[in-house]
Each structure stands twice: as structure tokens, then as C-alpha cells.
Amino acid sequence: MRHFLLRIEPVIWLLFGQGLLIGTMLLTGWVLVVGIGVPLGLIDPAALSFDRAHALGSNIIGRLVLAALIVLPLWKGAHHLRHLSIDFRGAERDVVVAPILYGIATVASLLGVLAVARL
């Protein structure tokens, strides 16, 4: 298992880096718009209507963005938790912890992609 984890480490780091990008750029912008812009009246609430959101989810590019907003932060979180476990003297448990965390991220990613595909 250790050898397999070392072989897929570049893929995990790629997903982690993209999750970091999505988390810091797109999700931060979403929080600013929904959490600050709408309550302060800077953004019209009609801009966030169901019809516009459904049009976003119906478009292939919108679906890709929604899938990325779901999938990539999951992998970022799994990677952070794995390295947190290693930092707390869990290097010998990494052979057990890493597959569990990445397995959870894989299952949740598949469920997220299925949910976006059903829009």
C-alpha cells in the first residue's frame, strides 16, 4: 500500500493544489457575493434566482465548474487531514489513514459528480 501511495502522490498533490485554488478564489468570491453583497444591497437578489442557477447547472461549462467546486475541496481536505495525522506522530499509521481519507474523498467526489450530472 505504501508503494501505491507513493506512486499516486503527484496526482494527489495536483488535486490538492487545484482544491486550494478553487477554495481560495471561487469559494471566497461566492461568500463575498452571497454573504456580504446581497445583505448590504450591493447585489440584486434576483441575480441569484433559481432560474439563473438552473441555467448555470444546465450548461456544460457550469456543470464542470460546479463539479470542481464540490470535488477539489474534498481532496484538499483529505490531504490536509492526512498530513495532520502524520504531524501528530501518525507516520506509522499512514498506511491505514491515507486509504481511508482518500477513499472517503473518492466516494464523496463520485456522489458529487453524480449529483451535478443529474441537474
Looking at residue 41, which CATH number applies to its domain?
1.20.1300.10
Q: Which domain holds residue 95?
A: 2-117
**pLDDT classification of 22: cutoffs 50, 70, 90:** confident
Q: Which of 64, 70, 77 is nearest to 112 (CA)?
A: 70
Residues above pLDDT 70, as percent of the chain:
97
Query: In terms of C-beta density within 10 A (0-12 exposed, 13-18 middle, 19 or more buried), how is residue 57 classed?
Result: middle
pTM score of the predicted model:
0.72
Considering its fold, how many domains does the chain have in total?
1
